[in-house]
Structure 1
Amino acid sequence: TPVHQSERGHLHAAAVTTLLAEGRAYWCSCTSDEVKARAEARGGTPGYDGHCRDRGLGPGAGHVVRFRVPDTGSTAFDDLIRGHVSFENANLEDFVIQRSNGSPMFHLANAVDDAEQGITHVIRGEDLINVTPKVLLLREALRTPGELIFAHLPLIVNEKRQKLSKRRDDVSVGDYIDRGYLPEAMVNYLATLGWGPSDGIEIRPLAEIVAMFDVADVGRSGAFFDVKKLQHFNGEYIRALSVPQFVTRSTRWLFEEAPWPPDRFDVATFEVLAPLVQERVKLLSEVPGYVDFVFAEEPTIDEDSWQKVMVKGADLAAAVLDHAIAGFTDCDWTTAGLDVALFSYADTHGVAKGKVQAPVRVAVTGRTVGPPLFESLEVLGREETLRRLRSARARL
């Protein structure tokens, strides 16, 4: 059942009342400017100086409630990741537990709510480690039974080793789903941030990860969110799908966000190309770019590809297209037949097969990268292939 802090104000207020009654907290009228000014005047460490500790103030406009931190001793805990952590009480200021509007500070609500719910383990980011002594002091003052087990996780950082920020970095899971990341790949990758299985095999079923994971094995250093590595994980998960699963998982990008009219898409045709595409994409959003040449009325010509293959290599491109048009007119319309018809040019003229393929691929698909060429031509069909080859030849 979800717990909303806003609905638990009576519990927080009761805790403050108890602390005030027992002298573990007090009212304070100091403004932030006054606290800052006194700190600057004394030239010491910034922070509250206990100015209102013994003034005996009560509620009033602008008054907050502060916790009376012990002057001596230390507050310590054992962290599953960081070991023994200790804070000298003398270095902790009397911290605010209730704002002037009556609302609780995070550490008070944290201490009260965790106790009321019977929380035993606190697993959170290392940026909250300084909150922990405050929570422990409050639990002790409120005579909360039991001990908490803490694990402060390393923060996730970007390529500049800065903490991931929702204002600066891509942190929305929904955005990653929109780009074609599989949920299971994302979960697997996130599990490896700051932790790794002892055998070094990172890509594995969730059940195995759960069985092997121990929060005590998480490292202390910041965990780099490596998008390239995430894409690698995603590509591996895509290739692990059965062809029917791949077709189903690609549906959104083949219909809702496809660059061709809906009536031109044919599932049976895509199913033929699917295994070839599946071996090459890292994101499901890349799928349309590998098959649009089949379903679009005209291929979208990538100008960089055209310049590289058809302009800079115009003489070879013209010769290859002429050869392909002649050879494809009456060859067997199979992968093997197309291979023989086109590569006879390479064999005769001593030209690398990749250079011979390039003009045909650009003419038919619009780009230099895609599924295997001859399988693509077989699906596209003789008539449409020849039409595109002739159109490209006329443009040279």
Structure 2
Amino acid sequence: MLRNNQGQRSALAMLPLVFFLSVANAQDNRQDAIERVLDGTTSVRYIDKPLSRVLADLAKRHAISIRMDDRVAKANPNSPGLAISIELRDVSLRSVLRLLLREHNLEYVNEGNRLLVTTSEHAENSHQEERYAIPESVASDTDGFAAAIRETLLMNDSLGTAEIIGSELVVRAPRAVRAKISDLVAQFQPAKDAEKTAAQLEIDQILQQPADMNFVFTPLAEAMQQISRSHGLRVIIDRKSLEQAGITPDVPVTFELKGVDLGRSLRFLLNTCNLSYIVKDQWVQVTTKAIVDAHRELVVHTFPIAAEPHMPKLREMFLKRKPMALTAGDNRIVTFKNHFIVYGTRPIQKAVKQYVDALAVRFNKRPAVQNAQKDVKKEENRFADPFAG
């Protein structure tokens, strides 16, 4: 009888866990179901229809729930009644929503049981879940890989979470963080398998296209709008940073260049105003050179494989030589296998690359480690400082 009671108590104790897992799985399934609907094709034709009615019609036609966030009305009380005119045939529902919302600085968020139409600012900061296949190169230490991501980018739960579930890395974080993690995962893939998001590939292709520019005393904001319309590229001016630098979006630009790719042409044009740009996940952001220089990227730097046991020592030596890596804001260097995962500014990335290259040159001049039983101290000295004679 006692055994039966103990068994019942054990079974009851497991109920909350089973319930939690069931709810989590159901949430994932609902999100996946909405993603499949978004990928499905549709055709639309709306002429001067209020946004609220357009969303209601799309929700009814595709059997999903679409709700307008209260933040939209607070940001612009006229938003629900905004007139929408759009006609598209045989395109994905995802593309339809992006096109009709983007014009009004709105976006949608997949909340699992519904789509929430909200402000771009809220969508940018919203913690959404994304799943990534584990690259084969890190499969032997998936927990270490997730820990490296947490240490490099997340730091605390307010910035997001990363965990291994089955054969996937599951991340819940703001969009900017997810974009960096997506890029990080791609860097651990073989070169032929590395993939960018569809939006990133589209921006890359647009920036590589030839462009003709001819502006004469044209306000900067107007010039960016013309470039955006001509090339189908979303260009956003970082007005706050420009204002802090004493530059207004109405500053006149005079610039002419033909037959050069759009990326370089845009950089040359902005340079006349002491500005530059950063490629975000879905748009190009025009900002000050100081912001561009301070922009932190996530890059994987790979050391010779035999250096793996000595990575903490290599990191220590680098930080001694480059103390700015410790003092320059949020720059972070995390060791994982025979890699430095570096979240830092361009100067930091350049310094790390030089360090790795110098070590590789030194390493290639020395015989490979044959005996794993060699004195550990001797091996540490061997790899500790690649600049030593």
TM-score w.r.t. structure 1 length? 0.24
Q: TM-score, normalised by structure 2?
A: 0.25
Structure index of larger Rg: 1
